[in-house]
Amino acid sequence: MTEYVVLEMTPEERERLETLARLRGYTAPADYVRALIESDAVAQGITPDDDDDLEAGFLQGWHDAMTGNTIPASELRKALLDDDE
């Protein structure tokens, strides 16, 4: 059974949502919204069932990469070396 959620938005907001969805590789805005909700849940520490952890991790990584939430490899290397000390 499918349940629906209605989002109220202006035509401009809908156009922006559709544009953002396309820019991030989604063919349907609904898929983009689902991914955003999943990503937010992961960021908040709300994890799905253990079977879905791999997918959730991928979705979070994809979201981070697409939104520029990344650090240079040199900083990652430095952080890892600092942890070893």
Residue 80 lies in a domain: yes
CA gap 46, 35 in Å, rounded = 14
Percent of the chain with pLDDT over 90: 21
pLDDT-derived band of residue 16, with 50, 70 and 90 as boundaries? Answer: very high
Please report, to the nearest 10 degrees, the dihedral formed by the alpha carbons of residues 35, 22, 20, 4 taken in order. -50
Residue 4 lies in a domain: no
* String of DSSP letters for 27-81: SSHHHHHHHHHHHHHHHTT----GGGHHHHHHHHHHHHHHHT----HHHHHHHHH
Range of the domain at 45: 11-84
Q: Could you tell me the pTM of the whole model?
A: 0.51
Residue 3 lies in a domain: no
> What digits encode the pLDDT tens for the residues 20-36?
999 999 999 999 988 88
Structural domains of the chain, count:
1
Residue 77 lies in a domain: yes
Residue 5 lies in a domain: no
